[in-house]
Amino acid sequence: MLWEIDLHPREDVVDREAAGVRDDAAELGIADRLEIRSARGFLIESPSLQPAEVEKLASDLFADGIVEQPVCAAIGDPTLTATPGSAAQSDQLLQVLLKPGVMDPVAQSAEAAARDFGYPIDAIRTLRKYWIAGADQQQLEAIGARILANDAIEQVVFGPLPFDHLQLGSEYQFALQTIELESLDDDGLMRLSREGQLYLQLAEMQTIQKHFGQLGRKPTDVELETIAQTWSEHCSHKTLAGRIAYRDENGELQFENMLKETIFSATEQLRAGWGDDDWCVSVFRDNAGIVRFDETNNLAFKVETHNHPSALEPYGGANTGVGGVIRDTIGTGMAAKPICNTDVFCFAPPDTPVDALPPGVLNPKQVMRGVVSGVRDYGNRMGIPTVNGAIYFDERYLGNPLVYCGNVGLIPHDQSFKEAQPGDLIVSVGGRTGRDGIHGATFSSAELTSESDSLSGGAVQIGNAIEEKKVLDAILTMRDRGLYSAITDCGAGGFSSAVGEMGEEIGAEVWLDRAPVKYDGLSYTEIWISEAQERMVLSVPEQHWDEVQKLCADESVEATVIGKFEPTGRLVLKYDDQIVCDLSMDMLHNGRPPVIREANYTPAPTEPLNLPPRDNYTADLKKILGSYNVASKQWIIRQYDHEVQGGSVIKPLVGVQSDGPSDAAVVRPVLDSRRGVVISCGMNPRYGDFDTYHMATSAIDEAMRNCVAVGADPSRVAILDNFCWGDCEKSETLGSLVRAAIACHDLSLVLETPFISGKDSLNNEFSYVDSDGDKQTIAIPATLLISAMGQVEDVSQCVTMDLKTSGNLLYLVGATDDELGGSHFALVNDLKGGTVPQVDAETAKTTFAKLHQAIKHGMVRSCHDLSEGGLAVAAAEMAFAGGVGADIQLAKVSVGSDSVSDAARLFSESNTRFLCEVTADSAAAFAEALAGVPLAQVGQTHDDARLRIHGTVASEVLIDAGLEELKAAWQQPLAW
């Protein structure tokens, strides 16, 4: 029997959910001033639940009687659909349910809690209900589709529910599936690749055809799937680790393995040069890169992307992106303890008109809200502070937003490596396997289209953070007791990639029928490739299995033996003792034909940038402060817990009212130690339109500047690369990426800043058919995120960017050049051309080192890096964050040549520059510490709450504004 318990807001309580829907309907232009009532409900399937027991559950488990009114009845009872309260009878009821099989964590918890009452419960599902008056059918459908439900995971029911029991799955009948390959021609192979969602290329399909031809048998479906997962771009990074012939204005370069010969190679050279002082521990081999932290611990750092899932279902995509990268650090070495998160997003501008959206594209504001909520709910629930982030806006992210999720973990020195042993049991720990996330790995390697939504709904998932938190608690205990010999996460490809990776050097046999499933009916293939969340795989010596099982049970975590690492060199899968897959590990991991690509790059010719005539730049400054990239992200930051774990030192918002933008975050991961971890990032896709070489060096410089500005030691900064690019089968697109990788190599070597891990996401393009019937493709701009992890010996040496007191001196560190190309001054004024900022590597290295010494010795009261908007924006942010005014004289700025205009002095985005506040007492020592670095005392702080900037000619005032109006300009655009 199916019961329903609805919870209505009590009459005297604001119905916030309904108000939100009403406001969204008005904002989207669907309907104004609708009358809406909302409720949340629970469907309870039980063989014998009594009415009194339902009432008891309603009052003692589900409803908070002070704010909620429960309504209970058996399904079909009219009280469940009647309009609550006094609203009109003509109200239409819309009910929103998760589609069957979609993760419903609230329902899972409710099931356990209801059973704790001693009642027989088969299953529980949640739903949301909306009674809407004053809307016609078309408006109701628009509200359902665009506000209430995302079709990828949810369904809307108009009126009463059309069922009287919950679907619990049906029993699976085993039947071995084989695939005919031998007879297929090239077209047939490619059709199979596409229609089977394998997304393999022709040469790869031909290799597989030949392999099974030699074996004299047909492949099974699960064998094909396993090969497709292992060979997917997502899992093997075959393009960038492949053979590339690159050509640019300097000539030709041949790479056998492009990433290895650029970025990895720089790190190897640095490590060799450091010899005994090498502080890298494990780079480019494990799920995260590892470096040394203190006498006991190392740090692991990984940043991943979750772009395609977030495009279809922003909340679930971002949610599982965070969950996935956390599992990366948990699955590094013998398990790191996650200590902080960093999240960077790229969206189309949130004010993109609704009628300008191509078919299949979600409104960017909706995407942004969903992504932020997804990150918030996972990070906060895991108890991992989200301390750093950034958001970039560009029209070209419209159909393909980017979601980068990063996590730092702390790991003891002696737990930093792992090796599965022959004879070890393969143990699945954590969540159950369901149909969710089938084909995530292959899907993420394909291009998004307006039909992706219907094609790949299975790739979209919702996370359950508490499951992962339980798994983490259990794993850290087991790690410290030495109960397993290796661990990895179930990420893209599920068991397929986890077991395949761990057993690559040994061999494995897996008993798929033993994997715990969420519901009946899963085929052996679905079990093997499901990307259901919150699962880890351990390699457990047989003698420890009992203890593993007990410790997991103690934490309410499910642990199951699903196989054994056998020294056969083969991957054998069985279902009910029948072999469904038998592949050699060698074929799987080394059998893929090399990808060979051409890459070309032609730098865009430099065009002059024509400055608009101006005698005052105050309006330009406000426009830049209010541009989306620069504007305050307080609305987002305040939703993230950035202080959990108790080690917060420098928060994302700083200053006298905690609302100024910090350059980097600092946390103290060991509570009885003073040593700190510094997290920052750098990114500037706009520079890539000029030259991806300078875009990459600028991103590295920016990440370093942000770290150094708060006090990090530049000789202990490790960085990560995340390349998000368009379709790299196009040689120009791949060329722009190779060029960026060469830049990473070059600057990393000079700065002695090692790359320790990285990830790429290619094919970030969105295709649709426009109203004329023509195919249109939007490629994202070349987007390289550099994430930096620095260290500070004693956190009390850290500084923040807010001006502290009047009467101090302001120093500009670094030289300013006429580099307005790609700048925000050019953006807000719609100016084309100009020279893009470049990095002088040697000067950068010296500057970072010397400034660090000055900060470390307490000579600097505040420090801010110069990035988007240049000197003017940095000065404004420092002033309004500190509530302290400043005067700046542009004539004093160190410039590359005398011809640098006032506009460039104000807004040029030249690299390696900082604005520092220094007391008069420290001025001489500061100047001495920075000797040899371009340095100028450009101004002073004062009591008047205004920022004034004087030009080079006769000191005329070019900018004069009150701090409150500057702050308002900066805060207003994203104050949602």
Partner 1 sequence: MAKPRILILRAPGTNCDVETAYAFEHAGGEATALHLNRLLESPQLATEYQVLCVPGGFSFGDDVAAGRIFANQIRHHLADVMQEFRAAGKLVLGICNGFQVLIKSGLLDTDDEQGAAASLSWNDSGKYLARWVRVSVSGDRCVFLSGCEALQLPIAHAEGKFVVRDETAFQKLESDGQLVLRYSEQSGSTDDYNPNGSAGDVAGMCDSTGRVFGLMPHPERYIDPTQHPQWTRLPQRDEGEGLQIFRNAVRYFS
Binding site for partner 1 (CB under 8 A): 14, 16, 20, 60-62, 64-67, 105-106, 108-110, 112-113, 116-117, 376, 380-383, 464-466, 469-470, 554-556, 637-649, 651, 653-658, 668, 671-672, 795-796, 798-800, 802, 804, 862, 882
Each residue of 277-298: b (16+ CB within 10 Å) or e?
A: eeebbbbbebbbbbbbbeeebb
Closer Cβ to partner 1, 448 or 637, answer by number: 637
Residues 6+ apart with CB under 8 A from 114: 44, 57, 61, 121, 124
Per the structure block, which two tokens stand in for 344?
């960077």
Which string of DSSP letters, residue by residue, matches 350-380? Answer: TT--GGGPPTT---HHHHHHHHHHHHHHHHH
If the CB atoms of residues 273 and 646 are measured against partner 1, the closer one turns out to be 646
Q: How far is the CB of 358 from partner 1 (least distance, A)?
A: 31
- The distance of closest approach from Cβ of residue 719 to partner 1 in the complex, given in angstroms and rounded to an integer, is 25
Residue placing its CB nearer to partner 1 in the complex, 455 or 644: 644
Three-state DSSP class for residue 270: helix
Nearest CB to partner 1, comparing residues 112 and 176: 112
Give whichever of 622 and 668 is closer to partner 1, judged by the CB atom. 668
Do residues 839 and 694 make contact, with C-beta atoms less than 8 angstroms apart? yes
Token pair listed for 319: 């949610």
From the CB of 943, what's the least distance to partner 1, in Å?
A: 16
Shortest Å distance, C-beta 556 to partner 1: 6
Q: How far is the CB of 797 from partner 1 (least distance, A)?
A: 10
Sequence-distant (6+) residues with CB within 8 A of 215 are none
Cβ contact 727:447 at 8 Å: yes
Q: 851-876 burial, b for 16+ CB within 10 Å, e for fewer?
A: bbebbbeebbbbbbbbbbbbbbbbbb
Distance CA 127, CA 97 (A): 5
CB of 31 to partner 1, least distance (A): 21
Helix (H) or strand (E) holding 428: strand 425-430
309 vs 385, beta carbon nearer partner 1? 385
Calculate helix-pair angle for 186-195, 202-215, nearest 10 degrees.
100
Q: Which of 234, 544, 642, 745 is catalytic?
A: 234
* Nearer CB in complex with partner 1: 179/653: 653
Catalytic: which of 8, 237, 306, 439?
Answer: 306
**Rounded CA separation 299/81 (Å):** 55
Write a three-state SS string for 59-95. HHHHCCCCCEEEEEEECCCHHHCCCCCCCCCCCEEEE
Asked if 904 and 856 touch (Cβ cutoff 8 Å), the reply is: no
- Give dist(CA 206, CA 181) in Å, integer: 9
Q: Judged by CB, which is closer to partner 1: 455, or 968?
A: 968
Q: Is the CB of residue 627 less than 8 Å from the CB of residue 824?
A: yes
Please report the beta strands in 483-525, taking only residues with DSSP state E, as ranges in sequence order: 486-489, 508-511
- 463 or 591: CB nearest partner 1: 463
Work out how close the CB of 124 gets to partner 1 at its nearest, in angstroms, rounded to a whole number: 10
Instruction: State the Cα–Cα distance between residues 597 and 593, nearest whole angstrom.
Output: 13
DSSP 714: G
Q: DSSP character for 260?
A: I
100 CB-side CA count, 13 A: 11
Tokens of 644: 């959990």
Minimal distance, residue 975 CB to partner 1, in Å: 12
Specify whether 8 is catalytic.
no
Considering the complex, state which of residue 60 and residue 180 has its C-beta at the smaller distance from partner 1.
60
User: C-alpha 642: how far from its chain's center?
Assistant: 16
Cα separation of 246 and 255, whole Å? 8
**H or E stretch including 255?**
strand 251-255
Q: Shortest distance, CB of residue 150 to partner 1, whole angstroms?
A: 19
Considering the complex, what minimum distance in angstroms separates the CB of residue 671 from partner 1?
5
Cα separation, 378 vs 581, whole angstroms: 36
CB of 440 closer than 8 Å to CB of 316? no
Q: In the complex with partner 1, which residue's Cβ is closer, 103 or 890?
A: 103
Cα 488 to its chain centre, rounded Å, is 20
Q: Is 544 a catalytic residue?
A: no
670 class by beta-carbon count within 10 Å (0-12 exposed, 13-18 middle, 19+ buried) = middle
Query: How many whole angstroms separate alpha carbon 645 and alpha carbon 671?
Result: 9
Nearer to partner 1, 462 or 499 (CB): 462
Beta carbon of residue 682, minimum distance to partner 1 (angstroms, whole number): 23
* Side-chain half-sphere exposure of 810, counting CA atoms within 13 A: 34
* Residue type for position 452: S
* CA 403 centroid distance within chain: 4
Count CA atoms within 13 Å of residue 650 on its CB side: 33
Q: How many CB atoms lie within 10 A of CB 616?
A: 13
Give the residue from 431, 297, 321, 304 showing the smallest Cα distance to 377: 321
Query: What's the min distance (Å) between Cβ of 109 and partner 1?
Result: 4
Q: What is the DSSP letter of 782?
A: P
Q: Which is nearer to partner 1, 14 or 954 (CB)?
A: 14
In the bound complex, what is the minimum distance in angstroms from residue 720's beta carbon to partner 1? 25
- Residues with catalytic function: 234, 306
